[in-house]
Homo-oligomer: A and B are copies of this chain.
């Protein structure tokens, strides 16, 4: 199997994400190896040695994807025996021309604690944890968004992703069996923050499957119960004009991107 290396003097997250997006265009399996924090010429030479050694066992030259700011370190990696892709460089010269200024590379510029929005993201994660699953009803005035939905419709991981990725303070509130009558009424605590509400729903069969993994053969997991709860909350969303999304076929990344696009919610982090 061919090896794909992701190398950086930082976390290597940019090289990984971009390299991954490229490789998924091809129907080939790769052995993936990330080597972050390659910050000195000596470390870079060690990396090249490792790439050379791995190559001797194999038919195929390894791919080497890298984003390295330090020019001396970069030069060493560019001489590895692999097929080298310097991701950022291809775009730097044309951008310098367009912007009319030279690039000023700084080490650890992305994904570091020095990014201005870092503290905002961590605060948002703490907020999401403290306001998960209706566990705290008194700080909704601080929320940027309040996700609502039945148990296991995707509220918690979406709240965490919105916080971690975008610095958005997302609370989430579960509609439980106690809330269900024939017609669910919007709980008073949510009514005053109605403009912050966003509903999630999910296919009954999928919900039944997810709940069964937690509590097999329970009333809670039964298809009948799932159908009833979903019917009630979807009616509520429509009656109260709460925007909502069916999460069945979407990842938390997709759900989050769709929520941002639909609500126009401002992200704190780019």
Contact = CB atoms under 8 A, between A and B. Distances in A.
A87 to B, nearest CB: 7
A109 to B, nearest CB: 4
A26 B103 contact: yes
Nearest to A109: B24
Nearest to A256: B11
Contacts of A216: none
A173 B122 CA distance: 19
Interface string A1-43: 0100000001111101110111011111000101111000000
A168 interface: no
A189 interface: no
Contact of A20 (B28, B35, B110): B110
Interface string A85-124: 1011011101110110101111011111101001000100
Interface string A243-270: 0000001111110111011000000001
Contacts of A12: 257
A21 to B, nearest CB: 4
A83 interface: yes
Interface stretch (A72-80, A137-145, A153-161, A177-185): A153-161
A44 interface: no
Nearest to A90: B90
Contacts of A94: 85
A164 interface: yes
- Interface residue range, chain A: 35 or more
Contacts of A147: none
A103 B27 CA distance: 8
A129 interface: yes
A27 to B, nearest CB: 6
Given A17-B17, A37-B257, A164-B160, A105 B252 contact: no
A17 B20 contact: no
A125 interface: yes
Interface of A: 2, 10-14, 16-18, 20-22, 24-28, 32, 34-37, 61, 63, 67, 83, 85, 87-88, 90-92, 94-96, 98-99, 101, 103-106, 108-113, 115, 118, 122, 125-126, 129, 132, 156-157, 160-161, 164, 249-254, 256-258, 260-261, 270
22 contacts: A11-B253, A11-B257, A13-B17, A16-B270, A21-B88, A24-B106, A26-B95, A26-B99, A26-B101, A26-B103, A32-B270, A34-B260, A34-B261, A36-B260, A37-B257, A37-B261, A112-B251, A112-B253, A113-B251, A113-B254, A118-B251, A164-B164
